[in-house]
Amino acid sequence: MARDLPIELPQLQNWSCHTCGECCKQHGIYVTGEEQARIERQNWTEADGIPAGQQLFVKMSGGLGKGWTRLAHREDGSCVFLDDKGLCRIHGKFGEPAKPLACRIYPYAFHPTEKGLTVSLRFSCPSVVANLGTPVVEQRGELKRLAKLVVPADHKTVPPPALADSKSIPWPDVMAIVDALDATLAQEDVPIHVRLLQALHWTRQLGEANLKDITGERFIELLSLLLDEASLVMSELSGEARPPKQISAVQFRLLVGQYARKDTYLNVQPTWADRWKLLSWGLSFAWGSGNVPAVQNVFREVPFSTLEQSFGPLPEEAEEFLTRYFRVKIQGLHFCGPAYYNQDILQGFNSLVLVYPVVMWIARWLAASANRQQLTREDVLLAITIADHHHGYSPALNTWAFRSRVRTLVQLNEVATLVRWYSR
């Protein structure tokens, strides 16, 4: 068990639970054998609001290894322990520590490094996206207590994520890249999409550099040179937006179609009708003409072509939401290594940057669903919530097809094109 590890907390983020119950409706909660036995001993009855005969646990196969158990969901998709007021019955009756660990940790995510732990948050929680509650830095004591429950004793043996496929680098160089990315994204006087373009530019150059014998101080000097060069070409990077090539547009629509869905444990065992619906959605996104199928009930069918038109400048505050999103993910190492399907730093960073056009596309769809051609702050907030539900967690994002989609966009140098196109 981890003992008094140095813990790096996101400086920009606030969070307290506002009991909206959303997490209890969309996530599968893994329970250990010990947690299952404890909940069974709690002896839930109809008097507690649990209907007679209600199954409390479901045995699953795949995903977390050979068979695992999760809390059951009701027919409306909510956890069996969620009450009518949006509160957890286990928490209400037996206190917070009686809940499964997965519920206690959400929306936090802990990632071991060489020297300690970084902490990130899941923006699928509406309170995280809206930055509501107590500053995370003031929750250090509680987070240290939780960290001891989740971080394995051998955390120091966690290897650093590779820079790219065949280039491994030591932990201090990994953390120097994290600091350099964070510095690029911290430039408040530069629009967020331009900061992402700068970071894409210098990370691409880093991937192409010969790093033989360049480590430690020399590696930091190299990063500093790359950052300076990216600032010098800023106006070039943020130049005129052009639409993505046709092949990239298809790959991007398929990718965004995956992010826009709301996969829950209601559809974990799809019927043939569900499979047919998914196939027809996939074909619509690949084809990209006619109407966008409404893949969840916050959307309305709107023409694909509408979402390619300009939606004007970002609403006030959206720059802050997006900046915080990317900086929290970067500072918390929530884009590579074990926190992101064991992907290397550059591939993981490109996947993270792609969340920007994904969020803009989904926000446009929300606006168009309400017959607007201008984004509101609520469109952007909800779009981040929808996209981050999947990022780093959905098994669909870890498939060969999804990874190859991202690789194709990177190889065609179209990630930057997509960022520019959907920023307008």
User: Which residues of this chain interact with ligand SF4, rule CB under 6 A?
Assistant: 17-23, 106-107, 125-127
Tokens standing for 49?
């609001």
When the beta carbons of 78 and 198 are compared against ligand SF4, the nearer one is 78
Task: CB nearer to ligand SF4: give 127 or 238.
Answer: 127
Distances (CA, A) of 55 to 45, 49, 59, 88, 309: 12, 13, 11, 17, 49
CB of 257 to ligand SF4, least distance (A): 24
Angle ∠(165,155,39) on CA atoms, nearest 5: 115
Q: Which is nearer to ligand SF4, 226 or 387 (CB)?
A: 387
Detail the DSSP E strand segments found in 77-205.
108-112, 117-121
Under a CB-based contact definition with an 8 Å cutoff, are residues 220 and 386 in contact?
A: no
Give per-residue burial for 373-387: e unless 16+ CB within 10 Å, then b. Answer: eebbbebbbbbbbbb
Smallest gap from residue 181 Cβ to ligand SF4 (A): 27
CA separation for the pair 357, 380 (Å, rounded): 11
Shortest approach of ligand SF4 to residue 19 CB, angstroms? Answer: 5
Nearer to ligand SF4, 127 or 248 (CB): 127
Q: What is the DSSP letter of 397?
A: G
Whether the upstream peptide bond of residue 107 has omega within 30° of 0, thus cis, is: yes
Rounded Cα distance, 40 and 58, in Å:
13
- Nearest-approach distance from CB 69 to ligand SF4, in angstroms: 21
**Least Å distance between CB 136 and ligand SF4?**
13
User: With respect to ligand SF4, which residue has the nearer C-beta, 107 or 160?
Assistant: 107
Residue 125 or 190: the one with the smaller Cβ distance to ligand SF4 is: 125
| Closest separation in Å from C-beta 62 to ligand SF4 | 26
Nearer to ligand SF4, 21 or 348 (CB): 21
Contacts within 8 Å (CB) and 24+ apart, 58-62:
58/265, 60/28, 60/268
- CB of 356: closest distance to ligand SF4 in angstroms? 23
